[in-house]
């Protein structure tokens, strides 16, 4: 005799599938918008996440990647004149990443493009906030 499937396990599997599908949709959305601006998806993600001066480690955390990968991306953005490395105000060992005027303008254009036909665009502000709250509760933080 087999045991009936656990409804909680079924629901969890379905939720994981939906989160994975949403993540793929978002990644595809970013990729298309990045190409429109002659950026790689990683470069677009870095620009999107640069909300102000930050260290490479902070950016890597926001990008969900290793600092060495973020360094590679920032090297390319720096060569394009979009990002500068400056002395950190309180840590002599660290550098602050700062958007140049051109980088800030491109970031604004990117954000405008990302807002168009976003996979989350069909949700109301209230629904987006509820989804954010639920995801924040579900994310296991170290």
The SS3 assignment for 97 reads: strand
Residues 70-82: pLDDT tens digits?
999 999 999 999 9
Distance of CA 85 to the CA centre of its chain: 21
Number of separate domains in the chain? 1
Per-residue model confidence (pLDDT) at position 141: 64
42 within domain boundaries: yes
For residues 133 and 76, is the Cβ–Cβ distance under 8 A?
A: no
At 78, which CATH number? 1.10.10.10
User: Which of 57, 37, 53 lies closest to 112, judged by CA?
Assistant: 37
Cα three-residue angle 23-70-34, rounded to 5 degrees: 50
CA torsion 103-108-113-118 (nearest 10°) is 120
Q: Is the pLDDT of residue 142 over 60?
A: no
1 within domain boundaries: no
The SS3 assignment for 86 reads: strand
Per-residue model confidence (pLDDT) at position 89: 87
| Cα 23 from Cα 17, distance rounded (Å) | 10
R_g (Cα) of the chain, nearest Å? 19
What length does the chain have?
A: 142
2 within domain boundaries: no
Per-residue model confidence (pLDDT) at position 3: 77
Q: What domain range includes position 26?
A: 7-138
């Amino acid at each position: 005799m087999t045991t009936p499937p656990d409804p909680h396990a079924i629901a969890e599997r379905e939720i994981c599938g939906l989160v994975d599908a949403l993540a793929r949709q978002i990644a595809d959305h970013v990729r298309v918008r990045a190409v429109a601006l002659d950026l790689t998806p990683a470069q677009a993600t870095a620009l999107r996440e640069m909300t102000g001066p930050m260290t490479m480690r902070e950016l890597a955390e926001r990008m969900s990647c290793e600092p060495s990968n973020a360094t590679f991306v920032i090297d390319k953005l720096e060569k394009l004149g979009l990002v500068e490395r400056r002395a950190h105000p309180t840590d002599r060992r660290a550098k602050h990443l700062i958007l140049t005027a051109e980088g800030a303008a491109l970031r604004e254009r990117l954000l405008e493009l990302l807002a168009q036909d976003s996979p989350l665009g069909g949700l109301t502000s209230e629904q987006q906030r509820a989804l954010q709250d639920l995801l924040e509760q579900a994310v296991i933080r170290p």
